[in-house]
């Protein structure tokens, strides 16, 4: 529990798109602090999907979601970017007053990785507006970035400590589905990033045990998502 004025006091969950085939939600998050800062975590799909991206569909996008709680894009002062996949970084360019906070390993990898080329014009912002961090980082009291490589190099998850709810862990794509949050070895070990992915899952499981985290929100879990409060409701 914290009474620090600049600490988080609200967390909003926003669904901005869907993978229709599996009804998988595509989401982002907003943290508000006691001293009035608005910190966005990811930005969802691009307004116009690149040629050939047919597996994703926009819903009510991040700008419209923010308007629904009385905010404009320019009210966002920080965008925590978990990674540059298209469903997470597609609207980064809309936040022209914001600084972006990234793991250095991810930003450097993205510079030459064609996986992120489709959204490059969104995330490739002037370097003075990008804050690169190395590993676990306390961004402010009650808001921590947890390095969780595996899904991609330099992926990050986010720990938010709220005055009433306590600690909430946003795993993002380090653990996309609740069923994957286990110490058991998966049956398929064929993924080249499987080892790093396991290391990050174990790291988050240890964090949950150590910090007595009450709520773990998975990146794309439709069953869990259906049970959570969405904007304009919030956790506090």
Positions touching Zn ion (CB under 5 A) are 173
CB of 172 to Zn ion, least distance (A): 7
The 3-state secondary structure of 181-195, one letter per residue: CCCCCCCCCCCCCHH
When the beta carbons of 40 and 162 are compared against Zn ion, the nearer one is: 40
The minimum distance between CB 40 and Zn ion, in angstroms, equals: 16
Supply angle C-alpha 221, 224, 229, rounded to 5.
120
Nearest CB to Zn ion, comparing residues 19 and 140 = 19
Considering the complex, what minimum distance in angstroms separates the CB of residue 182 from Zn ion? 19
Distances (CA, A) of 26 to 46, 62, 141, 196: 12, 11, 28, 23
CB-nearer residue toward Zn ion: 97 or 115: 115
- The residue (of 133 and 175) whose beta carbon lies closer to Zn ion is 175
Q: How far is the CB of 34 from Zn ion (least distance, A)?
A: 30
Tell me which residue has its CB nearest to Zn ion.
173
Looking at residue 49, the DSSP 8-state letter turns out to be: P
């Amino acid at each position: 529990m914290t009474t620090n004025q600049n600490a988080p006091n609200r967390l909003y969950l926003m669904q901005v798109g869907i993978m229709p085939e599996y009804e998988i939600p595509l989401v982002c998050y907003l943290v508000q602090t006691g001293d009035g800062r608005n910190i966005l975590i990811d930005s969802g799909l691009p307004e116009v999907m690149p040629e050939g991206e047919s597996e994703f569909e926009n819903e009510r996008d991040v700008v419209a979601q923010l308007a629904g709680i009385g905010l404009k894009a320019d009210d966002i002062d920080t965008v925590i970017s978990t990674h540059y996949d298209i469903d997470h970084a597609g609207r980064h360019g809309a936040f022209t007053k914001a600084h972006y906070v990234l793991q250095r390993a991810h930003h450097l990898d993205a510079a030459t990785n064609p996986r992120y080329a489709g959204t490059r014009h969104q995330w490739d912002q002037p370097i003075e507006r990008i804050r690169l961090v190395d590993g676990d980082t306390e961004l402010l009291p009650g808001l921590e970035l947890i390095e969780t490589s595996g899904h991609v190099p330099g992926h990050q998850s986010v720990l938010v400590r709220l005055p009433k709810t306590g600690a909430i862990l946003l795993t993002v794509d380090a653990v996309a589905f609740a069923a994957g949050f286990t110490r058991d070895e998966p049956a398929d070990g064929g993924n080249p990033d499987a080892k790093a992915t396991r290391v990050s899952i174990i790291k988050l499981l240890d964090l949950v045990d150590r910090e007595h985290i009450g709520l773990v929100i998975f990146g794309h879990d439709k069953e869990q998502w259906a049970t959570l409060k969405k904007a304009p409701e919030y956790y506090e």
